[in-house]
A and B are shown apart, each in its own frame.
Chain A
């Protein structure tokens, strides 16, 4: 198994610059969750110049809508949702100091550019591992927008939460790099391959 980097939020610019697409990372500490509906509300506040109910500076946002917690457990199944749906919400949060997003799947060109500008990364969690990943979440509490149900903003306390650096702060992209490495059919290159490849 490849070397693993341990990250403990809050994170600095230097932490982010040291990461390269393809790196294996274990996160221990606090994650803030958020997906479509919560992001729309945060954007409304940013547009109006009002304060957010959460402080994103130095933090990581995990794109997840967990299933209900069974009795005695902190959370139900809690794997990543698809990241690109949140593409247009990324840059305004990076401006406020957000350091990383966690989700599954590729990001658009605008997000990849913004990650370079603001020294941030997009991390890939394996999609469909909701039951397994829930075991790395030690506690969970709703910190905003409880009325949104599974789309509420939670604070997760995680231990050794496994992710892979998908898009680094230097333009590296693990999805494009790896699919090119394994493809035997260049004529069927996926639509999302592009940009700078990881070193």
Chain B
């Protein structure tokens, strides 16, 4: 191995992932709580405002008592941005991450929600395996992002291979209709991840990556995407779905778009719906 490589030991990755799992499930980000508070000023439904207050109260209880804010502590999604100058020592990176999930869910009294096979449905019992995505990046950093993704909102997510003639208007309609259809099942107010372009699978991952963006509401760097975010958010909050799907103006707190080049024939659009328990935690080793 090159002598200049920075070494990161698997034990450190395991400990960090375990800690991030517990923090994510029990400490709702201040960005999300601020989103609830801002929505209290614009929500016209009395019941909607009451629900937003309860979400703030729920987050307080969870944080104070180290209790999961939601019993569905999710499918553990992990993104690693791994500098190409980093050498992982002491084991295999994926094993270290899964061991972190195993420990975090056990020590944090987090619910295990994963079954071994979609058809035989035998629980794994420790919430592993995590859904792990590794991006190799320049430099010697090791950045870990953990998102315990709730099942109810994930089930309302959708993808469509549009065609170029559908254009921006077609893409916008597809995304807003997906938000309306998600309704009460997705636990609004939502953070909506949108993947535009790429291939079938790339679009879906872009949408997932978009819900990792924090603080929520940070606009896309590309102005085409940022304008699309603003337009979807405005329309989403006119659908009437509202907090918990019981009517109101607060259907989405934020819309995040990630885009990628695509084929001449294609306009893939993926919508990954994130419930109000938008639980991203990250750190760098």
Using a CB–CB cutoff of 8 Å, the interface residues on chain A facing chain B are 1-2, 37, 64-70, 76-79, 81-82, 84, 104-106, 124, 126-132, 134-135, 149-150, 164, 174-175, 177-185, 188-192
Contact = CB atoms under 8 A, between A and B. Distances in A.
Interface in B159-190: 173, 176-177, 180-181, 183-185, 187
Main secondary structure of the interface of A (DSSP, over half): loop
A130 B238 contact: no
B109 A68 contact: yes
Contacts of A1: 50
B70 A77 contact: yes
Contacts of B240: 178-185
B195 interface: no
Interface residues of B, number: 56
B244 interface: yes
Given A68-B109, A188-B235, A128 B70 contact: yes
Secondary structure at the B interface, as helix, strand, loop or mixed, is loop
B57 A132 contact: yes
B62 interface: yes
Interface of B: 44-45, 47, 50-51, 54-55, 57-59, 61-62, 65-73, 109-113, 121, 123, 125, 150, 152, 155, 173, 176-177, 180-181, 183-185, 187, 235, 238-242, 244-249, 275-277
Nearest to A192: B183
Given A175-B184, A188-B176, A104 B70 contact: no
Nearest to A185: B238
B58 A131 contact: yes
Contacts of B248: 178, 182
A68 B71 CA distance: 9
A135 B51 contact: no
A28 B185 CA distance: 25
B71 A77 contact: yes
Contact of B58 (A104, A132, A181, A190): A132
